[in-house]
Amino acid sequence: MPFTSGFDPARLADHFAKHSGDFGAKTAAEYEAMADAFLGGPLPTDAIQATRVGGGDLVRYNPVTNEFGVLAKSGVIRSYFKPDPKVHGLPSNPDYFHAECKK
């Protein structure tokens, strides 16, 4: 089972500002706890997971909840958000997940 050591403080501030509204998080600590639960716990039933080809980061995506996250091998949370094809430019969010796994 993965573990997390949370976000880097600067990255947490940036990601909280950008993505907290996607999850209804009121504080950075609440947002970080959601990311930790998604990335640090057992793989949710509906989620898919892979290890990035370059670097070994863990990538998870849940198509039911539309949660996407990246966890570094060191346990630091790199990213947690709800992807949007209008933003990432790929046909679907599963396509985005697979593209991210190839990095």
pLDDT for 2: 59
Question: Does 1 have pLDDT greater than 60?
Answer: no
Q: What is the pTM of this model?
A: 0.92
Report residue 55 CA to chain centroid gap.
16
CB burial readout 2-33, b (16+ within 10 A) else e: eebebbeeeebeebbeebbebbebeebeebbe
Question: Does 30 have pLDDT greater than 60?
Answer: yes
Average pLDDT over residues 73-91: 96
Tell me the domains of the chain and their CATH numbers: 9-101 (3.10.450.200)
Counting residues of the chain whose pLDDT is more than 70, the rounded percentage is 98
Asked if 75 and 5 count as a contact pair (C-beta separation under 8 A), the reply is yes
pLDDT digit string, tens, across residues 37-78: 999 989 989 999 999 988 899 999 999 999 999 999 999 999
pLDDT for 20: 94
